[in-house]
Amino acid sequence: MNYRSKYKAPILTVDAVIFQMSGDQLHVLLTKRANEPFKGDWALPGGYCAQGSTTMEALSQIVKRKVGVDLESQLGYVEQLYTFDTVARDPRGHAVSVTYMGCGRAIEPAAAEQEIAWHGVDQLPTLAYDHEKIIAYARERLAAKLTYTNAAMGLLDRKFTLSQLQTAYEAVMGRTLDKRNFRKKFLSLGLIHETPDMWREGAHRPAKLYAFNNNSLEALSRSFD
Amino acid sequence: MNYRSKYKAPILTVDAVIFQMSGDQLHVLLTKRANEPFKGDWALPGGYCAQGSTTMEALSQIVKRKVGVDLESQLGYVEQLYTFDTVARDPRGHAVSVTYMGCGRAIEPAAAEQEIAWHGVDQLPTLAYDHEKIIAYARERLAAKLTYTNAAMGLLDRKFTLSQLQTAYEAVMGRTLDKRNFRKKFLSLGLIHETPDMWREGAHRPAKLYAFNNNSLEALSRSFD
DNA sequence: GTGAATTAGTGTACTATTGACACAATTTAC
DNA sequence: GTAAATTGTGTCAATAGTACACTAATTCAC
């Protein structure tokens, strides 16, 4: 096939799975679709990627406009998740969607074009397209990343207590962890350090605040032999 | 933006990183570009994805036509790698490339449109586009997969010796492994089983042949706590 | 058929990591 | 000062990882 002849590119869309902690639950940012198809259903924020901008640039603009979140400044980190495509995915024709996953903390969306809401990942409403699968995949990916990177950074304030860290791990992984083992293990990884500050809240002993050593995503190496 | 108005999709391309073992080295299948841009340079097999076919379908057709390899029947497994895009990636304009990675064994390419060759991943020629980075990324991904999946399956015959398996691991990871520890570890994973057959070759003791329990990709779970 | 060459196949001792498990310390509210 | 709440801590057993060297089985040359 020759590009100049009769080549017609598939529709290219981008979608974002934006996570944050709310209480002790992992939540995902959704928007209510105002138009067909799937009018009235909840969906991941996303839209078209046009010629001339990268998928990440397109996503930034779309997310900013539609749900009022600035990926650059309001998320701890963003990474590409997967590219989904099926001829039937979008009723309007063949679509390819490049999806990204990001984690943030206490995100305050600015004015947005669309109705938005945070939903607990364990209590999702009916979702448009295959977005339920995409969210499940994003959560799996994030859970895997937690075991060998400092990705939890994205879900926490710059300074956090070990209990907050553990709560985030439990929310993403969907199971409880042992407090002593979690602390022992995590501290031995060397990803975080103590700060002089304490977290005081409620009628109980205050907690030491920790911070990640590295503000960008850091991976530990795994070994085989 | 409205789809029906002035939306114009970026060029969508697909590229394949196809690995196989040759001797004790990991090799990647490359084609020599016959046209500009990068005419004469080596590149990953790939091409345009047009409306109406999924990226995987497009890739299958392209790889079959250009380098004579049938992804379905000639590769042990194929998975999506990453989607690369930069405005400058393709000199003709903004392009988005969905890349896939696959592993095969003693692949015999059929008649192909383009000049092709297998290159050792540690002795790559000058490559077109950012294909060098893509290959490095694919290798990293494969190395990571080897530590928690049966992905090595793709690189081996259905029946193989433990030495062959170890050689494949060493080639992908780029370092040597201890024979006794490798065997102990791998056998304990429970991914493979002994067969009654022996591999006889050369003036030395014959080796037991093993087979994977599962013909599709299988992942072991990692734990945190 | 004997010895040289080559690769397959095996075990042990040590260290590090994981996982199960319970109670004292510190703070606030009353 | 006592109750309520949450932080913070250690040990032991089991498992997994790591370093390391020799014997077994075969072919080939003589």
Taking the CA of residue B211 and the C1' sugar atom of nucleotide D14, their distance in angstroms comes to 30
Closest CA–CA distance from residue B137 to any residue of chain A (Å): 14
Residues of B in contact with A181 (CB under 8 A): 225
Q: Which nucleotides of D are covered by protein (CB under 7 A)?
A: 3-11, 16-21, 24-28
- B203–A contact, CB cutoff 8 A: no
Mutate which of A15, A85, A167, A175 to test chain B, going by most B C-beta atoms within 10 A? A85
Instruction: Considering only the beta carbons, identify the residue of B9, B47, B224 that sits closest to A10.
Output: B9
Whole-number Å distance between alpha carbons of B58 and A9 = 12
pLDDT-derived band of residue A135, with 50, 70 and 90 as boundaries? very high
Q: Do B50 and A80 touch (CB under 8 A)?
A: no
Tell me the HSE value of A70 on the side-chain side, using a 13 A CA sphere: 6
Residues of A in contact with B48 (CB under 8 A): 1, 3, 7, 9
Specify the residue for token string 């592993």: B103
Counting residues of chain B whose pLDDT is more than 70, the rounded percentage is 92
Q: Do B224 and A49 touch (CB under 8 A)?
A: no
Spatial CB neighbours of A87, under 8 Å, sequence gap ≥ 6? A93, A94, B52, B53, B54
The CA distances from residue B13 to A97, B56, B89, B90, in Å, are: 14, 11, 11, 10
Ramachandran class of B27: left when φ > 0, alpha when ψ lies in -120 to 50, beta otherwise: beta
pLDDT at residue A94 in the model: 81
Looking across all nucleic acid strands, the nucleotide with the smallest C1' to CA distance from residue B199 is C8
Residues found in chain A: 225
Tell me the HSE value of B161 on the side-chain side, using a 13 A CA sphere: 12
Taking the CA of residue A86 and the C1' sugar atom of nucleotide C23, their distance in angstroms comes to 57
Whole-number Å distance between alpha carbons of B177 and B186 = 12
Record the pTM: 0.93
The residue with greater pLDDT, A119 or B92, is A119
pLDDT at residue A123 in the model: 96
Kind plus residue range of the DSSP H or E element containing A133: helix A131-146
Residues of A in contact with B187 (CB under 8 A): none
Active-site residue list of A:
115
The neighbouring-strand residues paired with B205 are none
Cα-to-chain-centroid distance, residue B137: 11
Taking the CA of residue B224 and the C1' sugar atom of nucleotide D11, their distance in angstroms comes to 21
**Helix or strand or coil: residue A126?**
coil
Task: Report whether pLDDT(A222) > 90.
Answer: no
Whole-number Å distance between alpha carbons of A51 and A46 = 16
Name the least confident of A47-51, A173-177, A193-197, B195-199.
A47-51
Which residues sit close to strand D, CB under 7 Å? Answer: A 161-163, 179-181, 183-184, 202-208, 223-225; B 178-181, 184-185, 188, 200, 202-206
- Smallest CA–CA distance from A99 into chain B, residue: B83
The neighbouring-strand residues paired with B99 are B15, B82
The residue-averaged pLDDT of B214-224 equals 79
pLDDT at residue B64 in the model: 96
Closest CA–CA distance from residue B150 to any residue of chain A (Å): 13
pLDDT at residue A152 in the model: 97
Torsion of the alpha carbons at A123, A106, A167 and A79, rounded to the nearest 10: 80
Q: Which of B155, B123, B130 is nearest to B142 (CA)?
A: B155
Task: Report whether pLDDT(B8) > 90.
Answer: no
The residue with greater pLDDT, B92 or B10, is B10
Straight-line distance from the first to the last Cα atom of chain B, in angstroms, rounded to the nearest whole number: 47
pLDDT at residue B187 in the model: 96
pLDDT per residue over A82-131, tens digit each?
A: 999 876 655 567 889 999 999 999 998 887 788 999 999 999 999 999 99
Taking the CA of residue B25 and the C1' sugar atom of nucleotide D14, their distance in angstroms comes to 39
Kind plus residue range of the DSSP H or E element containing B162: helix B162-173
